[in-house]
Amino acid sequence: MSAPTIRLAVDAVVFGYDPKDGISVLLIQRKYDPFKGGWAIPGGLVLENENLETAVERELEEETGVKVDYLEQLYTFGELNRDPRNRVVAVAYYGLVKKSDFHLYASTDADDAKWFNWTELPELAFDHVKILETAIERLKGKIRYEPIGFELLDDKFPFSDLHKLYEAILEVDIDRRNFKKKFLQLDILNELDEKISEGKGRPGSLFQFNSDRYFAMKKAGINFEV
């Protein structure tokens, strides 16, 4: 009996963030059928001598020019007819990037890779809606007990950016003062002497994620939770 001819693909849901625009998702416009001209999550077939993560990073780089800061496996989608041509099983990943690192790609409408606000997404090819929903669900869950939010922010950020990020992801209002109190007592942020004024209002201190401290605490069994 010959081996079943099941093709293996990887797909990546990449999230970006901007305090003004909220959460966005990186999509590509398909050049070929099926779904030619339609929007889709970046991805493609895994090569025979390639690790899954390598494949995701390669496809992302090829199709969008983006290199993710954070990448995590999401779920494997294996329904029989998810691809009209062949049996394709897709291992989906989700990634987080600092959008400002890739300004050229993100703002170029002419390119076939584009950021979409996650509340205003176009129709998606294949079962990519389902993949995206799974990724959003995961992001919402994960942000509450892992400090992955910093992958979406600049290295130094005013506290309000972090606050707005959590409100944007969780889609709820969070009391500014209580959030800050709670977050600061986790003791994984460094408050810098620098201040930043963003137009109007009192300027705020800049903060930095203290990842050394976080990993030390995690190792010691102290759990993070927001």
Q: Which stretch binds a second copy (CB under 8 A): 24-32, 43-51, 115-123, 154-162?
A: 43-51
Q: From the list a second copy, DNA, none, which binds 119 (C-beta under 5 to 8 Å, kind-based)? A: none
CB of 97 to DNA, least distance (A): 23
| Nearest to a second copy of 7, 36 (CB atom) | 7
Site for DNA in 117-176 (CB under 7 A): 158-160, 175-176
CB of 108 to DNA, least distance (A): 29
Q: From the list a second copy, DNA, none, which binds 156 (C-beta under 5 to 8 Å, kind-based)? A: none
Q: From the list DNA, a second copy, none, which binds 81 (C-beta under 5 to 8 Å, kind-based)? A: none
User: How does DSSP assign the chain, residue by residue?
Assistant: -PPP--EEEEEEEEEEEETTTEEEEEEEE--SSSSTT-EE-SEEEPPTT--HHHHHHHHHHHHH----SEEEEEEEE--TTSSSSS-EEEEEEEEE--GGGGHHHHH-TTSSEEEEETTS---BSTTHHHHHHHHHHHHHHHTTTS-GGGGGS-SEEEHHHHHHHHHHHHTS---HHHHHHHHHTTT-EEEEEEEE--SSS--EEEEEE-HHHHHHHHHTTPPP--
| Binding-residue total with a second copy (CB under 8 A) | 24
Q: From the list DNA, a second copy, none, which binds 202 (C-beta under 5 to 8 Å, kind-based)? A: DNA
| Nearest to DNA of 58, 156 (CB atom) | 156
Residue 52 lies near a second copy (rule: CB under 8 A): yes
* Site residues (vs DNA, CB under 7 A): 158-160, 175-178, 180-182, 195, 197-205, 225
